[in-house]
Amino acid sequence: MSSPIQQAQSAPATSAPALAPERPVVWPRRTVRTLANGLQVVLAESRAFPKITAQLYFRGGNAAVALKNPGLAEMTSAVVRTGTTSRTSRQIEEDLRRIGAGLGAHAGADSSSISAAGLAEFSGELLELIADLARNATFPQEEFEREQRQRYEELKIERTTPGFLAGERLRRVLFGPHPYAIVAPTLEQVEAYTRDQLVEFYKRYYVPTDSLLIVVGDFSAAAMMEQVEKIFGGWSAPKPEGQKSTEPPRASGRRVYLVDRPGTVQTQVLAGNVAVTRRDPDWFRAVLANSIYGGAFHSRLVMNIREQKGYTYSPRSSLNALREYGYFSVSAAVRNEVAAATLTEIFYEMDRMRSLPVSADELESARNYLTGVFSLGVATQDGLVGQLSIVYLDRLPEDYLESYRQRISALSAEDVLAAARRHFDSANAQIVMVGDRAQIGEQAALFGAVTAYDAQGKEIR
C-alpha cells in the first residue's frame, strides 16, 4: 500500500455521505395526436432554453431495401435536403442559418428521418422547412451526382475504420439472409445508384401515414399542436406496403471472422449473438444484466480488462435493439499480443454471469445506475426526442418512460442470472477480429474455425 499524496494534514469525513432523500422525477408531459392523414404527433414541453428540436420519422429505412439496394435509404436522405419545388440547395442552407437551425437527414435500419433544432422563436419556419423537405423534395440530378460521389469517398474511409469493419462483419454473420445483415453498400453499389431509385424510395416511404413527428421545446403544447396541424395536416399519400421478413440463422458453436488489415498496431475485437428487442418481456432483465457485465464504467468487464489488466481503453458491451430483432455484442480495441487473452476474459465474465447470481451490492448499484442515468437522458431536448422516438417508433406501452424506473428496480439477482443464461450466448458467440492476420491469426484460431476477409468484405484464403 502506498501512502496518500496529501496536500497537508486535515481531518476529512472518511466515508461517503449517505444519499439525501430522492426528489421525484417529473416526466415531461406529452400531447399525442394522430392527424387525419395518419401522422402521429408527439409534443413535449421543455422550456429551460429558448430552443426547439423536431424530428420526423418514416418507417422505412435501409433494411427495407437492403436486399436490392443496400444503403439506398441513407443515400435518399442525403439528397433530400438538396432541393425542393420552391428552394434550391443553397436556399435551404441559408434559410436554416437565418433561423438559427441545424438540420440532419439520416436513415437507420428501420427508419428514415429529418430532424432540425434551432431557436424557438422561429419554430414555424423550422417546421415548414421540415415539411417542405418531406413533401416537395426534387432530387436535382447534379446534387444527386455530387452526393453520390461524396458517399463513395466516405465509404472508402469507413472501410479503413476498424469499428466500422467489425460492426459490418458481425451484422453479416448474425443476420445472414435477413436485411439487418447489410449495414453498408459496396463501392460498386454506390456507383450503381440512380436518381430514379431515390425518387422511388422517397415516394414510397416519405409519407404521413404511419409516420411520426416528435417536437420538443420551449412552446406551449396547445399552440404547437395547432401549428403542426396547419403545416402537416394537408399532406396525404398512400401508406407503404409491409415487408415480409426472413429469420436470422441460429448460430451453433463459436466461429471467428477475421478482417485482415496488415500492419495495424491494434486489434478490434467484437463478439455477439442475436438477442431480444425492446418489445420482448425479457428486455429489462437483459438490460440490467448487460449493465453489470459490460454496459457501464463500473461493470465487470471494464474492471477486468481495463482497470486490472490494462488491455484496452474502451471495452463495452451493449444490447442493440432493432425493430424485428436485437443482438448482444461486446467490443474492445486491444494491443495485438493480448487479442486472445481479451477474448478469454470476455467469455470468462460472460460465463460467470451465467453461472452465479450477482451480489446484492452489484444488483443494487446497477439498478440505481440505470434508473438515474435514464432520468439524465431526458434532461436535454435531444435526449428527450431520442427516448420518445424509442417509445413511439417501437410502439412500446405509453407509460414506458414513467414505468422504466419501477420495472428496473423490481428486478432480482435471479432475473439477471436468467437473462444472462438466455441472452449471453457464450458457447455460440460469433467472433469478429479486425487486425493483422500475420500477428493475430494463431490467436484467432484458438476460438474456432477462422474465415478471413479483406477490408472490402471479400473472403481471402
Partner 1 sequence: MTKLSKHLHIPVEHTTLSNGLRVVASPDRSAPFVTVGVYYQIGFRLEPRGRSGFAHLFEHMMFQGSENAGKMEHIRLINSSGGLLNGTTNYDLTNYFEAVPSNALERVLWLEADRMRALKVDDENLRNQRDVVKEEVRVNVMNQPYGGFPWLDLPPVAFRNWPNAHNFYGDFADLDAATLGDVRHFFRTYYAPNNAVLVMLGDLDPAEAFKLAKRHFEKIPAAPPPPRADTSEPPQESERHGEVSETLGPLPAIAIGYTMPSRESPDWYAAGIVERVMHGGRAGRVFRKLVLEEQIAVDADGSADLLDTNGPTQMVSRIFHKPEFTSEGAVAIYDEIIDEMQRKGIPSDELEPVKVKFRSDFYSMLEGGMGSYMPRFGLMHYLACFTLFDGDPDRVNTVLDGFLNVTPGQAQAFAQKYLVPKNRAVLFRRPPAQRTPGAPLVGGAR
Among 61, 108, 118, 167, binds partner 1 (CB under 8 A): 118
Smallest separation, CB 418 to partner 1 (Å) = 23
The region that residue 60 occupies, defined by phi over 0 for left and psi between -120 and 50 for alpha, beta otherwise, is beta
Distance between CA atoms of residues 209 and 294, nearest Å? 39
Smallest separation, CB 457 to partner 1 (Å) = 16
Smallest separation, CB 7 to partner 1 (Å) = 5
Q: Is 48 in the site for partner 1 (CB under 8 A)?
A: yes
Q: Does residue 393 sit in helix, strand or coil? A: helix
Among 136, 150, 245, 456, binds partner 1 (CB under 8 A): 150
Q: Is 124 in the site for partner 1 (CB under 8 A)?
A: no
Cβ-contact 182, 172 below 8 angstroms: yes
Among 32, 237, 303, 390, binds partner 1 (CB under 8 A): 303
Cβ-contact 185, 70 below 8 angstroms: yes
Among 38, 125, 152, 255, binds partner 1 (CB under 8 A): 152
Among 135, 195, 316, 335, binds partner 1 (CB under 8 A): 335
Distance between CA atoms of residues 78 and 73, nearest Å? 9
Q: Is 250 in the site for partner 1 (CB under 8 A)?
A: no
Cβ-contact 144, 199 below 8 angstroms: no
| Among 221, 233, 212, 216, residue whose Cα is nearest residue 392 | 212
CA angle 209, 71, 198 (to 5 degrees): 55
Residue 134, Cα to own-chain centre: how many angstroms?
23
Q: Which of residues 97-116 bind partner 1 (CB under 8 A)?
A: 97-102
Q: Which of residues 155-214 bind partner 1 (CB under 8 A)?
A: 156-157, 160-162, 190-191
The region that residue 72 occupies, defined by phi over 0 for left and psi between -120 and 50 for alpha, beta otherwise, is alpha
Among 40, 89, 189, 317, binds partner 1 (CB under 8 A): 89
Helix axes 360-376, 283-293, angle to 10 degrees: 110
Q: Closest CB to partner 1 among 276 and 288?
A: 288
CA angle 15, 18, 24 (to 5 degrees): 155
Q: Is 139 in the site for partner 1 (CB under 8 A)?
A: no
Total of residues contacting partner 1 (CB under 8 A): 98
Q: Closest CB to partner 1 among 166 and 251?
A: 166
Smallest separation, CB 417 to partner 1 (Å) = 20
Smallest separation, CB 327 to partner 1 (Å) = 22
Among 33, 86, 136, 149, binds partner 1 (CB under 8 A): 149
Q: Is 334 in the site for partner 1 (CB under 8 A)?
A: yes
* Contact partners, residue 215, CB within 8 Å, separation at least 6: 41, 42, 43, 44, 52, 53, 54, 127, 224, 228
Q: Which of residues 307-326 bind partner 1 (CB under 8 A)?
A: 307-314
Among the candidate windows 172-180, 235-243, 333-341, 347-355, which touches partner 1 by CB under 8 A?
A: 333-341
What track of x and - describes contact with partner 1 for positions 4 through 43 (by CB under 8 A)?
A: xxxxx-xxxxxxxxxxxxxxxxx-----------------
Smallest separation, CB 25 to partner 1 (Å) = 6
Among the candidate windows 49-57, 207-215, 235-243, 412-420, which touches partner 1 by CB under 8 A?
A: 49-57
Q: Is 371 in the site for partner 1 (CB under 8 A)?
A: yes
Q: Closest CB to partner 1 among 7 and 85?
A: 7
Distance between CA atoms of residues 455 and 158, nearest Å? 10
Cβ-contact 171, 243 below 8 angstroms: no
- Residues recorded for the chain: 461
Cβ-contact 278, 289 below 8 angstroms: no
**What are φ and ψ of residue 72, in 5° steps?**
-65, -35
Smallest separation, CB 339 to partner 1 (Å) = 12
Among the candidate windows 178-186, 249-257, 329-337, 395-403, which touches partner 1 by CB under 8 A?
A: 329-337
Q: Is 221 in the site for partner 1 (CB under 8 A)?
A: no
Q: Closest CB to partner 1 among 19 and 238?
A: 19
Distance between CA atoms of residues 126 and 397, nearest Å? 30
- The end-to-end CA distance of the chain, in Å, is 52
